[in-house]
Structure 1
């Protein structure tokens, strides 16, 4: 009885909340060198990396930085991209959800990025690997991008190693003054895309393929980006899908993605946002098709939750989003699981000194 009390008391002091939380998952150090193989029969299917995580909201109060980090510690995630949200509502607006406030502008800003950087400077976690991302860029008005990148580097030298999520075309924000970039605008990205390439920094781009009325309405914009900047590391967010396009045939979707992946070796896809699972991956007629696709292109896929840390969200919601966006990973073959879920693609993309464990045979 007394021994049990002491074990409970020590666990309480060290922050071990329950046998199902962080004390049972692999720590950051286990990815630093050769470690025990990953047993898929007993260890979770959720990934060790969340490459699409918004630490800041569109407006209003955010979940505190350290609290979001605690969410990661309570799951399998040990590596994460710290996105802000670059397109924010006006600071004097009471609107929290832009979709409910048509006409209220959602425009690019540096506000969230600088808060993220300040939080990282003040509270750098030693048990998580976090990659700060620049989300401020206005792709339809890119002239100031280089100057702002230089400002970021001056204020927070060596902090930022990613750009995005930035919007090439996001139909959901058309009613909030978002304007899709044009081919002419894309040509104007040359200086900051060169800077990203020299820094070895990827860029994550939100670019809708189309909508249910015009399935490939905006595809030409992403094709223009890929043709113009073939040497940049480009991550296509959400596999190009959106709530405006929930009825694209799986075969047509996969044909588009396969063609572009084959043509552009530096292109990667992220499978963030539960929209993919809700409307595409888990449909009985689609699941096996997408599993085959992810197995075939397993070195080109990154996992992510697309969780937004506004104050109304919670750990339970993050956990739900992580499980939903990762559900398909449990059906992948071992090589694909190691590349995607165990972080191999992420480590290689950023040239990190970490390695994914082998999957137990």
Structure 2
């Protein structure tokens, strides 16, 4: 190390660099980091893609049937420029004897929580040990209607895959799309009984992504009280609200009303983070005239409180073009964001901070 710095000093004298610059190089060298990384260019939004470099909501396993292979899916991420992803399974799976790959195609068929997808994900991860993209394993088995089963499940994961799972969810508090498949919303009593496993997650600093529909077009806020009760009981947990509570069943809520609801909860609960995954947000809300600007202005006011994602489900009948489209569609909101929110969301700063990662997002170049 001394020889390296000494050589840098000699070169510095020859080319006349300042002592301040030399000191910065020395600090970088002593930290074991390449000086080139310390002086790398800022992110130029005019020249570089607006698509998110993080996919915080990616289902590596389908509800049923064959999955896209692990190697193929991670290849999709590299090809599309995604460098970090949360590796969700599908906690709610179709029966093994079902011919369905998607629950909506099979009304009446029960879709119930299971550990099998998480175990497959963990096995694939252990075998591949990927460095690029960086992946975060998530526990998706949790049955919020039967919380007594969750702590033993976490203990099993700890035994089989110690220290590997760093996220929880997507888990369903209330998901109306699953009602035909015998899903029922968790009750207030259920939520109260989450306390043991929520303490485990809190002690580990582990985020949990919760799918909690706000309501339907007929009753826009019918289920909002369930998410509010969750936040009230567990304000110190890192809770990620999947899709900001929106869904296909709630396609026409007044955007101003929705923003007011979400803003009130963000103000009241500092550990709440919004999940911007699923193209439904773009298709049903952001793409409407005048609406994108409202949400972009909202995210600019809360630039540290949202993370991006595709909600892509890796069923074997999909290919790279499908993933590429999902990433592009869910990233369109990024174009309307100010630089701080763009860095936090599209460039991953909020995701890195939520996970306590050492990774840093580049600064956005100043215009002009």
Fold match, TM over 0.5? yes
- CA deviations on 1:245-300 (whole Å, 9 max, x unpaired) are 10000000000000000000000001100000001001013111111111111100
What does 1:220-259 correspond to in 2, within 5 Å? 220-259=225-264
Distance 1:99 1:194 in 2: 34
1: distance between equivalents of 2:225 and 2:301? 25
Aligned pair in 2 of structure 1 residues 97, 183: CA closer, same or farther (>3 Å)? Answer: same
* Residue 142 (structure 1) aligned to one of 129, 141, 147: 147
RMSD across aligned positions (CA): 1.4
How big is each residue's C-alpha offset from its partner over 1:135-160, in whole Å with a ceiling of 9 and x where there is no partner?
00010111110111010011011110
1:330 and 2:335 are equivalent in the alignment: yes
Q: Deviations along 1:316-349, whole A, 9 cap, x unmatched?
A: 0000000000101011111111111111101111
Residues 97 and 355 of structure 1: CA distance in aligned 2, closer, same or farther (over 3 Å): same
Cα distance in 2 for partners of 1:211, 1:304 equals 23
Contact 1:54 1:83 in 2 (8 A): yes
- Corresponding position of 2:93: 88
Number of aligned residue pairs: 333
Q: What CA distance in whole angstroms lies between the structure 1 residues aligned with 2:333 and 2:298?
A: 12
Q: TM-score with structure 2 length normalisation?
A: 0.89
User: Structure 1 residue 194 and structure 2 residue 199: aligned?
Assistant: yes
Residue 95 (structure 1) shift: 1.6
1:155 to 156, 160, 170: 160
Question: 1: CA distance between counterparts of 2:62 and 2:102?
Answer: 9
Deviation at 1:120, TM superposition (A): 0.3
Question: Of the candidates 110, 117, 127, which is equivalent to residue 105 of structure 1?
Answer: 110
* Residues 32 and 355, structure 1, Cα contact 8 Å, conserved in 2: no
> Which consecutive unaligned segments of at least 5 residues does structure 2 have?
1-33
Distance 2:355 2:59 in 1: 19
Indicate how the Cα distance of structure 1 residues 119 and 31 shifts in structure 2: closer, same or farther if over 3 A, else same: farther
1:80 CA displacement: 0.2
* Mapped partners of 2:191, 2:295: distance in 1: 31
1:42-121 superposed matches below 5 A: 42-121=47-126
Deviation string, structure 1 residues 164-214 (Cα, Å, up to 9, x no partner): 000000000011011110010000000000000111100000000000000
Kindly indicate whether the alpha-carbon contact (under 8 Å) linking 1:32 and 1:353 is maintained by their aligned counterparts in 2: no
Partner residue in 1 for 2:138:
133
Which protein is bigger by CA-based radius of gyration?
A: 2
Q: Aligned partners of 1:91, 1:217: CA distance in 2, in Å?
A: 33
Q: TM-score, normalised by structure 1?
A: 0.90
**What residue is the counterpart of 1:26 in the other structure?**
none
- 1:35 is displaced (CA, Å) by 3.3
